[in-house]
Amino acid sequence: MEQGILIGLIGWAATAILALGSSRLSAIEQRAMIACSWVIWMIPGVGTFVRSGALTIDAAALYIGISTALLAGLLLIGIYGRKRVR
């Protein structure tokens, strides 16, 4: 049961590393790719808990929504909290 969430986290981390290493993407596009890939990888990861009956579909959707909003908030704080050097 825990393997699904572990595979999701590993896949998300690998996608984030690839996005950060891409020279074609701007910094904002890299952050957006990281946030969007979180949803893509966590839906099947949390889906294993739904399939086993440990979570309801509503609880899983709420978990994914809240965690995605928190991740996007952290990324926005990182964007606007950084001091610009000229």
Distance linking the first and last C-alpha atoms of the chain: 50
The predicted model scores a pTM of 0.72
SS (H, E, C) the chain: CHHHHHHHHHHHHHHHHHHHHCCCCCHHHHHHHHHHHHHHHHHHHHHHHHHHCCCCHHHHHHHHHHHHHHHHHHHHHHHHHCCCCC
Predicted confidence band of residue 85 (pLDDT cuts 50, 70, 90) = low
Q: Each residue of 12-57: pLDDT tens digit?
A: 999 999 999 999 988 888 888 888 898 889 888 888 889 989 889 9
